[in-house]
Amino acid sequence: METLEGSELCFPQLLNTSCRKPVRPHFETMLIYILLSSISLLTAVLNLLVIISISHFKQLHTPPNLLLLSLAVSDFFVGLLMFFQIMITDGCWFFGDLMCVVYQYLAYIVAAASIGTMVLISIDRYVAICHPLHYSTKVTQNRVQVCICLCWMCSVIFHSLILKDNLEQPGRYNSCKGECVSFINYIARIADLVFSFIITTTVIVVLYMRVFVVAVSQARAMRSHIAAVTLQKSVKVTAKKSEMKAARTLGVVVVVFLICTCPYYCVVLTVQDNLLNASSAAFVIFLVYFNSCLNPMIYALFYPWFRKSIKLIVTLKILQTDSCEANM
C-alpha cells in the first residue's frame, strides 16, 4: 500500500511533504502531452521564422516590421515557457522554488510585452490608415524602437511589483513539495486586470474600429469615383473584396485576442483565494499562450514577404552571400 501511495507522489521519498500527482488515464495524459508539446513547438518555430526573416533581410527593416519583431520575440519565449507549463499540468514541479518564481516572472513579462506590442501595432495601423500624410514623420524607426523598449521596461517593472512577495521569498506559498503557485493579492489582481486587459483591449478595439470605418469609407469613395469612369462592375467587386478583407482581418485580430484572454481574467477575478494554482488554471493559461501561436499567423502569414522569406530560410539560401539584400 505504501508503494502505491509513493507512486502517486511527486517525490516518493518525501511521504509527508510531497504533493500528489493528479490521477488521470494514461491515454489522456499522453494526449495532453502531445497536444501541448505540439502547440509549444509550433509557437516557437513560427515566431522564430518571423524573427529570422525581419532580422536578416534589410528590406524588412521598417517601423511596422520592428513591431512585428518585438511581438515575435515575446511570443517565441512564450512558446519556450510552455514546455514548463506542460510539466505543471502533470501536477509536479521538479526544478525547485527559485526556478518556479523565475518561470512565473518571465511568463508574466513576455505575455504582457506581447499584449503591449499588439497595442503599439494597432496604433501604428491607425496612424497609417487614418493619417497617411503624417505617417512617415510621426512613425520613425527611432520612435518605434523607443516605444518597444518602454513596453518591455514597463512590463518588467509592473510585474516586479505584482510578484514582489514571490520574488523575495520563493516557495513561501507552496503547500507541499513539488507545487508551483504564485501569490497575487486582490489589489494587484485588479491592477493587472485594468492595465493588462481592460485598457489594452479598449485601445485595440477602438483603434481597429476606427481603422475599419476609415478603410471601408475610403473603399466606397474610390468605388463610386472610378465607377463613373469605367469598369464599374469589376471595381465594385474589388471594392467589396477589399471591404470584406479588412473586416475579416481586423475581426480575427480582435476576436482571437478576446477569446484567448477573457477566460484567464475571468478566473483571476472569480478565484476565491489569492493563490492561483497553475495546475488547476492550466486550461486558461494555455489559452493565453495559444494566442502567441496565432499571432504570427494573423500578423505575418498575411504578408507575401513572409512566405517568400520562409522559402529562403528552409532552402538555406539565406546563407548565401548578400542574401540579406534580397528583394522581398
Domains identified in the chain, total number: 1
Task: Mark 80-93 as b/e (b = at least 16 C-beta within 10 Å).
Answer: ebbebbbbbbbbbb
- What pLDDT is attached to residue 155? 93
- What pLDDT is attached to residue 315? 84
What percentage of the chain has pLDDT greater than the value 70? 81
Range of 41-50, 123-132, 250-259, 311-320 with top mean pLDDT: 41-50
- What pLDDT is attached to residue 27? 76
Q: Which of 174-178, 283-287, 305-309 has the lowest mean pLDDT?
A: 283-287
- What pLDDT is attached to residue 304? 78
Q: Could you read off the pLDDT of 241-289 as tens digits, one per residue?
A: 544 454 456 567 777 877 888 777 777 666 544 445 545 566 777 787 7
Query: pLDDT at residue 157 above 50?
Result: yes
Q: What is the DSSP string of 109-167?
A: HHHHHHHHHHHHHHHHHHHHHHSGGGHHHHS-HHHHHHHHHHHHHHHHHHHHHHTHHHH
End-to-end CA distance of the chain: 66
Q: Which of 63-72, 283-292, 305-314 has the lowest mean pLDDT?
A: 283-292
Nearest by Cα to 179 from 93, 98, 87, 96: 93
Tell me, yes or no, whether 319 lies in a domain: yes
Query: pLDDT at residue 79 above 80?
Result: yes
Q: Computed over its alpha carbons, how large is the radius of gyration of the chain? A: 23
Q: Could you read off the pLDDT of 118-154 as tens digits, one per residue?
A: 889 888 888 888 888 888 888 899 999 999 999 999 9
Query: pLDDT at residue 12 above 90?
Result: no
Tell me, yes or no, whether 131 lies in a domain: yes
- Domain of residue 44, residue span: 37-325
265 vs 67 pLDDT, higher one: 67
Tell me, yes or no, whether 253 lies in a domain: yes
Tell me, yes or no, whether 231 lies in a domain: yes
- What pLDDT is attached to residue 144? 94
Tell me, yes or no, whether 20 lies in a domain: no
- What pLDDT is attached to residue 213? 81
Q: Which of 43-47, 49-53, 217-221, 294-298 has the lowest mean pLDDT?
A: 217-221
Tell me, yes or no, whether 296 lies in a domain: yes
Tell me, yes or no, whether 113 lies in a domain: yes
Mean pLDDT of the chain: 78
In this structure, are residues 65 and 296 in contact, taking their beta carbons and an 8 Å threshold? no
The enclosing domain of 263 has a CATH number of 1.20.1070.10
Tell me, yes or no, whether 9 lies in a domain: no
- What pLDDT is attached to residue 252? 72
Q: What one-character DSSP code corresponds to residue 277? A: E
